[in-house]
Amino acid sequence: MSFFEILRAERLARGLTQAELASRANISIPTVRALESGAGTILSLEAVLPVLCLRWRVAKAGEHMGRVLAE
């Protein structure tokens, strides 16, 4: 599962629409769509992570970032 698929899966697991996530993260709906399709900025990602109860963790060399987020 890719990092962006994890974002979408976490949103859906919390029962949030893209519009609800955008509102809670104070970003636009197109920005949420962009994040979920593999685009977007670090700033918009940082706005979304706490809403989804996710946080950054530094990946070790060779470690898949999607797996890191899932943990």
Q: What is the CATH number of the domain that holds 23?
A: 1.10.260.40
Report yes or no on whether pTM surpasses 0.95. Answer: no
- 35 neighbors 45 (Cβ within 8 angstroms): yes
Give residues with Cβ within 8 angstroms of 4, minimum separation 6.
35, 36, 37, 38
Give residues with Cβ within 8 angstroms of 29, minimum separation 6.
18, 19, 22
Number of domains, the chain: 1
Q: Which domain holds residue 47?
A: 3-70
Q: In the prediction, which pLDDT does 9 show?
A: 95
Q: In the prediction, which pLDDT does 6 show?
A: 87
Ranges of residues in the chain with a pLDDT under 70 are: 57-60, 63-71
Question: How many other C-beta atoms lie within 10 A of the C-beta of residue 70?
Answer: 13
